[in-house]
């Protein structure tokens, strides 16, 4: 048990003060999602790893956890992509280049990159789940020779909800990326796959001993993706999932994000499947 006398004053932190970061780029990329590029003040670096998140705030409105969408390779600058679903996110919709956002973080455990080096990476992203996984994808692409195959499965409800379409095209065109996109409800223009994301899994040809899966998506998605991967005999400890919970502090204090005994914000949001398999509240 941690005791008062074990702690020195300088080890304590003002945990709740944000750093004001300038928006240096902003673009509404779908009807519901807006992309932002931000810059840390005075050339500081955010120093994040793929899969980590920040707490974004606007004074008078509130704070919300948002994944860092860019690869750590970009120094001093980072990107977010925010879906407009509630109080804060709807106000952030109006933020443009030149405005400032309050940023705390980075928080949480991202993908354990040391375990991913040299492996085949299977990214499974549902909807907005592509946002945190994009930091991983771009990191892999920036350090392409350190990894094996990069397989990206991406599903959205409709073609108009697909995020980062420019990048999707780029990935599609690269021969070192295997991209499979599907939509639940196609429109007239849609020529690709149709159906939920799990329909993409059975035909995959995976090298079981070297493949690491990284999954993010809406709550309902995880169970089915994990089931499909398991039916392909992918070992449990090679599956990573990034989970979403309500969060207020990001630093393991407010209690909202608990999944049974673990804190999504500190022990996650990226979890190894083995660690959360026994947790009834996880999936």
Partner 1 sequence: MECFSLLRSDVPALIDHLGDFGEVIAPHGKGDVSYSFEAVQDSCDVVLDYNRTLLPLKKMFLPPVEKLMGFSLKNESYEQVDVAITSRVFFGVHSYEMQSILRLDHSMLTGSAESNYFKRRQSSRFVGISFEPDEFHFSESVGIVIEEMEGFDLFLNEVDGDFQLYVLTENGQEMLNGFDKINITEPEIVEGRHFKKKIRYHYNRLPRVFQYAYHSEVWADVASRCVGCGACTLTCPTCFCFDVQDEVEVTAEDGIRQRSWDSCMLSTFAEVAGGENFREKTINRTRHRLYRKFKYITDEEGLPWCVGCGRCTAFCPAGISMPDIVNELIQEDEKAQYHRTVRV
Partner 2 sequence: MKPQVAFFDFTSCEGCQLNKLNFENDLLDILKHVDIVEFREAMDDKADHYDIAFIEGSITSPSCVERIHDIRRRSDVLVALGSCAVNGGVNAMKNLHPIDEVRETVYGEDKYLFATLPAMAVSSVVKVDYEVRGCPMTQQDFLKLLIALVLGKQPPKYGSPVCVECKLKENECLYNRGMVCLGPITRGGCDAVCPSFGQFCTGCRGILDNPNIDGMLEVMTSHGISLDEAKKRMLLYNSNEVQL
Ligand X SMILES: Cc1cc2nc3c(=O)[nH]c(=O)nc-3n(C[C@H](O)[C@H](O)[C@H](O)COP(=O)(O)OP(=O)(O)OC[C@H]3O[C@@H](n4cnc5c(N)ncnc54)[C@H](O)[C@@H]3O)c2cc1C
Rounded least distance, CB 61 to partner 1, Å: 6
Which residues of the chain form contacts with partner 2 (CB under 8 A)?
A: 60-61, 86-88, 90-91, 94
Q: Which is nearer to ligand X, 67 or 182 (CB)?
A: 67
Which residues of the chain form contacts with ligand X (CB under 6 A)?
A: 53, 62-67, 81-83, 85-89, 128, 131, 244-248, 269
Find which of partner 1, ligand X, partner 2, none residue 94 binds, CB within 5 to 8 Å per kind. Answer: partner 2
**Residue 185: how many other CB atoms lie within 10 Å:** 12
Find which of partner 2, ligand X, partner 1, none residue 67 binds, CB within 5 to 8 Å per kind. Answer: ligand X
**Residue 16: how many other CB atoms lie within 10 Å:** 14
C-alpha–C-alpha distance, residues 85 and 82, integer Å: 9
**Does the protein bind partner 1 through residue 7 (CB under 8 A)?**
yes
Q: Which of 175, 187, 188, 280 binds partner 1 (CB under 8 A)?
A: 280
Q: How far is CA 115 from CA 25, 109, 185, 238, in A?
A: 33, 13, 36, 10
Which residue, 192, 222, 51, 183, is CA-closest to 121?
A: 51
By CB under 8 A, the residues from 190 to 249 that bind partner 1 are: 219, 244-246, 248-249
Q: Which is nearer to partner 1, 6 or 114 (CB)?
A: 6
- Tokens encoding 248: 């207020």
Rounded least distance, CB 256 to partner 2, Å: 13
DSSP run (H or E) holding 16: none
The residue whose Cβ lies closest to ligand X is 86
**Does the protein bind partner 1 through residue 42 (CB under 8 A)?**
no
Q: Which is nearer to partner 2, 7 or 85 (CB)?
A: 85
Q: Which is nearer to ligand X, 81 or 123 (CB)?
A: 81
SS3 state of residue 41 = helix
Q: Which stretch binds partner 1 (CB under 8 A): 28-36, 81-89, 109-117, 187-195?
A: 81-89
Rounded least distance, CB 163 to partner 2, Å: 24
Rounded least distance, CB 153 to ligand X, Å: 19
Rounded least distance, CB 60 to partner 2, Å: 6
Please, are residues 92 and 45 in contact by the beta-carbon 8 Å criterion? no
Q: Which is nearer to partner 2, 57 or 69 (CB)?
A: 57
Pairing of strands 239-242, 211-216: parallel
- Tokens encoding 27: 């673009």
C-alpha–C-alpha distance, residues 49 and 114, integer Å: 11
Helix/strand/coil (H, E, C) string of 48-101?
CCCCCEEEEEECCCEEEEEECCCCCCCCCEEEEEEECCCHHHHHHCCCCCCCEE
Q: Which is nearer to ligand X, 33 or 178 (CB)?
A: 33
Tell me whether residue 108 is exposed, middle or buried, using C-beta atoms within 10 angstroms of its C-beta: 0 to 12, 13 to 18, 19 or more. Answer: buried
Interface with partner 1 (CB under 8 A):
1-4, 6-7, 9, 11-18, 20, 57, 59-63, 85-86, 89, 99-100, 102, 219, 244-246, 248-249, 251-256, 258-261, 266, 280-281
């Amino acid at each position: 048990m941690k005791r008062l006398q074990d702690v020195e004053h300088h080890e304590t932190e003002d945990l709740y003060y944000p750093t004001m970061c300038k928006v240096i780029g902003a673009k509404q990329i779908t009807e519901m999602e807006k992309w932002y590029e931000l810059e840390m003040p005075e050339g500081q670096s955010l120093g994040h790893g793929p899969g980590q998140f920040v707490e974004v705030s606007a004074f008078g409105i509130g704070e919300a956890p948002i994944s860092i969408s860019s690869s750590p390779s970009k120094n001093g600058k980072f990107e977010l992509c925010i879906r407009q679903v509630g109080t804060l996110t709807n106000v952030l919709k109006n933020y443009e280049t030149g405005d400032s956002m309050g940023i705390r973080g980075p928080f949480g455990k991202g993908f354990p990159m040391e375990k991913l080096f040299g492996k085949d990476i299977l990214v499974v992203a549902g909807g907005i789940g592509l946002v945190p996984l994009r930091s991983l994808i771009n990191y892999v692409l920036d350090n392409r020779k350190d990894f094996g195959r990069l397989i990206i499965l991406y599903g959205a409800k409709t073609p108009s909800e697909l995020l980062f379409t420019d990048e999707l095209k780029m990935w599609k065109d690269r021969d070192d990326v295997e991209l499979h996109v599907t939509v639940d409800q196609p429109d007239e223009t849609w020529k690709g796959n149709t159906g939920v994301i799990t329909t993409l899994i059975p035909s995959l040809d995976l090298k079981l001993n070297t493949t690491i899966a990284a999954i993010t998506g809406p709550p309902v998605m995880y169970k089915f993706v994990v089931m499909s991967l398991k039916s392909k005999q992918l070992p449990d400890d090679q599956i990573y999932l990034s989970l979403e919970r309500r969060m207020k502090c990001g630093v393991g204090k407010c209690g909202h994000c608990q999944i049974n005994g673990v804190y999504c914000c500190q022990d996650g949001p990226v979890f190894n499947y083995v660690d959360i398999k026994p947790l009834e509240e996880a999936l």
